[in-house]
Amino acid sequence: MDREKSRAVILHFDFSTGASGDKMLGALLEVSEALGLAVWEDMCRVAASLLPGVTVKRTRVSASGIAATQIRVTEEHHAPHRHWSDIRAMIEACPELDETARSGALRAFEAVAHAEATVHDVDVDRVHFHEVGAADSIIDIVCTSFLMARLAQFAQPTQATQFAQPTQPARHTGSAQPARHTQPAQAARHIGRAPLTVYATPLALGNGTVLCAHGELPVPAPATAHLIKGLPVYASVHEGELTTPTGAALARSFVTHWEPLPSVRPLACGYGSGTRTLAGAANIVRVLACECLEEGGARADSGGATTGKADSGGATTGESGPNEATATEALDLALEGCALLETNIDHLSAETLAFVCEELMRAGALDVWQEPIVMKKGRLAVRLSALVAAGEGRTFAQRVMALTGTLGVRQRFVERFVAPREILTLETPYGLVPFKVARFVDPADLGDGDDCDDPDPACDSSADVAETAWLSFSKASTISWLRPEHDIVARIARERDLDYRLVYDKLTTCALKALDRIS
């Protein structure tokens, strides 16, 4: 595959039986080997440079019939209680890590350190790790970060065409008394966004209790409970601990999108196995490396509209004018994953349902609508539907139930194509007015050499003006669709006691004249 010409590569983690360091590491190793990014000997060198004398063993196992990689780490002597400052110095001194891998490992360990500091009410640098300070957790976190760095370079070939060579880092030198429970200033450079786009399912936590250095504790363990704050999780039917502090720290540090996988083309798949046997389930983490089929990557809903600086013609455009982008750059449709929520309602008035729709839109729903239906026993009712971001289904379902009193909300995942759009602010007889501008093209026109007929900017016919506002203006100007927002038109009509249609048509005529100047 020509990586320079291919689209972005993303990862997807399946945490349906929890997240732990050994499972994530085993799955990432399989994916990295399948893509030719790393081999087992690379991991062994990293482990040896971190903890000389530690033995790392790889085993091919069958987890409920699924072939997977299991990683086991053993330490010759009794593991000492390592402090966060000791582990930080160990990672910074490791010669096998490049800056991306080192930053990822420090980010994950620092998350654990702050969780432990909060749980035990001590200064961060005085935190000493029990299970997470053992050799297996250190190897799991650092080697996972090492493989994630390799995958990040594979996913972003324009930024790194070959793997960065490890560099000798400077020793950590910082304040002797960092603030309690807060990020030390000297470590701020390690806290950053993950360099790779990573999707994941919600974390399965398990249930019941777990035995650890502090005795028998409820699942999730205290550090894990702190690390999963704000993340989508659920208990799971399986007894015991499924998500460990190490797994929670890695997931929190590297996952960028807790939502269903978008449209992709899978390239490689890896399975990492845990040591426990679960009844009726494979105790594994699955990782998919995929070529993303979405163009652009950013959401293109109305919340993403942009404004820029006014040009000499009185129009406010984005950083690139309408003529500066090619058709393929400006007109590509984004493909988004969404959650579609539905519920049938036969007990609310039309006024109440209208209020519910307004509240859902105010809460950030992408779209809300009603459809008349006939329910069982011949009762007339309404199907209330809401389109929301893929990861917000549960939140909006709870909101729908609170607003309507319905006892159930259906959810299914759908995809939608979204045209690039922006807000164009124009000078009009009514002052500055924002217009919504969309950019798209009919594929049937791409091979046609004849230009579209430009509309007459001075057209006085209301019907003609309204018609041209919905059609492609010209192939030179990549603007294909434009209209003033309803709320703005209605406000102007009320304030000036004018006919709504007259205001709408006059604003559209002004827009066409402005576009003629800037096209």
Confidence of residue 481 (pLDDT cuts 50, 70, 90): confident
Question: For position 514, what pLDDT does the model report?
Answer: 74
Position with higher pLDDT, 447 vs 23: 23
Cross-strand bridge partners of residue 181: none
pLDDT tens, position by position, 177-199 = 333 333 333 333 333 444 688 99
Q: Which amino acid is residue 344, in one-letter code?
A: N
Question: For position 160, what pLDDT does the model report?
Answer: 38
Q: State how far Cα 8 lies from the chain centre.
A: 14
For residue 439, give the nearest of 330, 300, 329 by alpha carbon: 330
* 3-class secondary structure, 2: coil
pLDDT tens, position by position, 196-233 = 889 999 999 998 988 876 678 899 988 899 999 988 89
Question: For position 312, what pLDDT does the model report?
Answer: 34
Q: Kindly state the tokens that stand for 163.
A: 């793997």
Phi, psi torsion values for 13, nearest 5 degrees = -100, 135
Confidence of residue 501 (pLDDT cuts 50, 70, 90): very high
- Which run of H or of E encompasses 64? none
Phi, psi torsion values for 24, nearest 5 degrees = -65, -40
Q: Which amino acid is residue 447, in one-letter code?
A: G
Mean pLDDT score, 164-188: 35
Q: Kindly state the tokens that stand for 323.
A: 């003529």
Q: Answer for the pair 5, 158: CB distance below 8 angstroms, yes or no.
A: no
CA 228, CA 225: separation in Å to the nearest integer? 6
Position with higher pLDDT, 191 vs 501: 501
Is the omega angle on the peptide bond into residue 220 within 30 degrees of 0, that is, cis? yes
Mean pLDDT score, 334-358: 91
Q: Kindly state the tokens that stand for 328.
A: 């393929």
Q: Is the pLDDT of residue 167 over 50?
A: no
CA 124, CA 229: separation in Å to the nearest integer? 19
- Radius of gyration of the chain from Cα atoms? 28
Question: For position 441, what pLDDT does the model report?
Answer: 65
Q: State how far Cα 238 lies from the chain centre.
A: 28
pLDDT tens, position by position, 442-457 = 666 555 444 444 444 4
CA 476, CA 454: separation in Å to the nearest integer? 10
Confidence of residue 100 (pLDDT cuts 50, 70, 90): very high
- Which run of H or of E encompasses 61? strand 54-63
DSSP code per residue over 116-185 = HHHHHT--GGG-EESSTTSHHHHHHHHHHHHHHHHHHHHH-TTT-SSPPPP--PPPP---SSPPTTS--G
* φ/ψ bin of 242: left (φ > 0), alpha (ψ from -120 to 50), beta (otherwise): alpha
Which residues, including other chains, have CB under 8 Å from residue 270's CB and lie 6 or more apart? 26, 27, 28, 29, 30, 31, 32, 34, 69, 286, 287, 289
